Amino acid sequence: MKKLSVLSLLVTLILYHGAYAQQDSLFTLDKCIDYAFTNQADVKNAMIDQQISQYKINETRAYGLPQVNFEGTTMYNIELQRMFVTNAVAGNFGAPVAPGADPNGTYAMRNLFQLKASNTATLNASQILFDGSYLLGLKASKTYSELATKSMTQTKIETTDKITKAFYLVLINQQRIQLLDANIARIDTSLKQLKQINKEGFAESLEVNRLEVTSNNLKSERVNVDNQLILTYALLKYQMGYPVNVDLKLSGTLDELVTRLNTASNPDMSSFDYNKRIEYSILNTQKRLEELNYKNTRAISYPKLVAFGTAGVLNASNTYSDLYSTKYYGYGFIGAKLSVPLFTGLNHYYQQQGAKLKVQKVQNSMDLMEDVIDLQVQQTKLILDNNVANIRSQRRNLELSEQVIKQTKIKYDEGVGSNIEVVDAENSFKEAQTNYYDAVYNALISLIDYQKATGTLYSE
């Protein structure tokens, strides 16, 4: 009894683990998007750009911190440079000037003030006290970081758009395959019955052939849709950054997709904020960057003040080896440097005018983007409304064609209907199914486009 209880417990644990693992391996739409945000190459590159922008901020900030450099120099002069002086000066230093030489003549005298070997070690430091360009650079680097963050959001929006469309297409093709299988099973059953009736002499071979053509057409369409499903799965995996050779199972039904359409919210366009559209928000940030650039072209004309200092040690000798056994002497100084641009050939003026026009250019792009957004919202809303209405119409056609096929089958079984009516009803039913799926997919795509146009598809 005890062994049986242990065995039952093990079986229960195995079944639970298998069920849990199967549930965990199913990908909902949100899970597909989350997976892409971690593994898709474009998203990963956008994340790297964010990190680069942060390093750019630190790089700009470091420019305003103290700058300290060390320099060490060792030198040995094989032949010292001569000192060129007049004959009169050379004579005063005891040089062998030729008697009667012109006192103002040139004399190449050996170097009396420099030794052949020397070692020098120097520590230089500087600190910006005031630089208008540096202060604006700090603001620009933060704005640049904001731009990288918005570019990341834009990449996520594009990724969400692509994955959602591919996800919906996979579900639509899966549903089409299920209904095609049901249609094929129903037709094959009817075909089998009709062949038997034909053998008994109560049905013509023409009726059998006509129904067999319908069955073959359905099977061919089943193969085509199955191939489309393979391709759409491959597309979805590619958009997600998912391994191509690893199975991917999705969780979702056609009814859930239709429910998503019925519950989709329409934003209040009377108080629409254009900054909800990431493209417009990016333009706004770019405008701020250009405004900072314009201010920088003015700041380069401001005075710059830098403090500096130097400390070092040195030694010299005519024998190189003595440098390392004799005393070194220190030296040092501190100071400040003030730079004031007075005239640059109007170079700064032209830079300012060019930067000012760049600001105006971005503003023009923003004005144009507002018109584009208004047009896109209006177009996508109209298309969405039409496609949603088309779903209701196609759904009604599907229901009617399903009723027709049932009634036609009953009439045929009772002997008051023809095989031609059955075939026509089957074809009409298949066409209604195809139209309904196309209507659902088109409505879903138009919903995505509308949400993207209104800036509600994805938000951080």
pLDDT of 165 higher than 80: yes
Mean pLDDT value of segment 263-285: 83
- Banded pLDDT at 337 (limits 50, 70, 90): very high
Average of per-residue pLDDT across 386-407: 92
The DSSP secondary-structure symbol of 415 reads T
The amino acid occupying position 360 is Q
Inter-axis angle of helices 419-453 and 132-199, nearest 10: 170
- Of 225-229, 307-311, 349-353, 415-419, the poorest mean pLDDT is in 415-419
Q: How confident is the model at residue 2 (pLDDT cuts 50, 70, 90)?
A: very low
At 392, list the tokens: 């209701």
pLDDT in the model for residue 263: 74
Whether the CB-CB separation of 90 and 97 falls below 8 Å is answered with: yes
User: Residue 14: its pLDDT value, please?
Assistant: 43
pLDDT at 11: 43
pLDDT of residue 270: 67
Q: Is the pLDDT of residue 436 over 70?
A: yes
Quick check: 432 pLDDT over 80? yes
Higher pLDDT among residues 412 and 46, named by residue: 46
Question: How many CA within 13 A on the CB side of residue 131?
Answer: 17
Give the mean pLDDT of 204-213: 85
CA distance 313 to 425: 104
Domain at 26-63+131-303+346-453: CATH architecture: Up-down Bundle (1.20)
* Mean pLDDT, rounded, for 89-100: 82
Render pLDDT for 123-146 as a digit per residue (tens, 0 to 9).
999 999 999 889 898 889 999 999
Residue 212 has pLDDT above 50, yes or no: yes
**SS3 of residue 320 by DSSP:** helix
Q: What is the Cα–Cα distance from 53 to 58, expressed in whole angstroms?
A: 9
Average pLDDT over residues 96-113: 84
Least confident range of 192-196, 335-339, 358-362, 386-390: 192-196
Please check the confidence at residue 181 and state whether its pLDDT lies above 60.
yes
Cα 187 from Cα 164, distance rounded (Å): 34
Query: Which is nearest to 426 in space by CA: 203, 185, 197, 202?
Result: 185
Q: Please tell me the distance from the alpha carbon of residue 169 to that of residue 159, in angstroms, as a whole number.
A: 15
Q: Which residues are within 8 A (CB) of 84 and not within 5 positions of it... i.e. 6 or more apart?
A: 106, 107, 108, 109
Structure tokens at 386: 């039409």
| Confidence at 74, pLDDT banded by 50, 70, 90 | very high
Question: What is the percentage of the chain residues whose pLDDT exceeds 70?
Answer: 93
Greatest mean pLDDT among 44-48, 213-217, 251-255 lies in 44-48
d(CA 366, CA 333): 54
Which of 321-325, 413-417, 422-426, 446-450 is predicted with the least confidence, judged by mean pLDDT? 413-417
The model's pLDDT over 221-269, given as tens digits with 9 standing for 90+, comes to 999 999 999 999 999 999 999 999 999 999 988 788 888 777 766 666 6
Instruction: Write the pLDDT tens digit of every residue in 7-37.
Output: 454 444 444 444 434 445 699 999 999 999 9
Rounded-to-integer distance, Cα 123 and Cα 71, Å = 6
Answer whether residue 317 shows pLDDT above 70: yes
Structure token digits, residue 354: 């060019």
Residue 417 reports pLDDT greater than 80: no
Q: How many CB atoms lie within 10 A of CB 145?
A: 18
Domain boundaries, the chain: 26-63+131-303+346-453
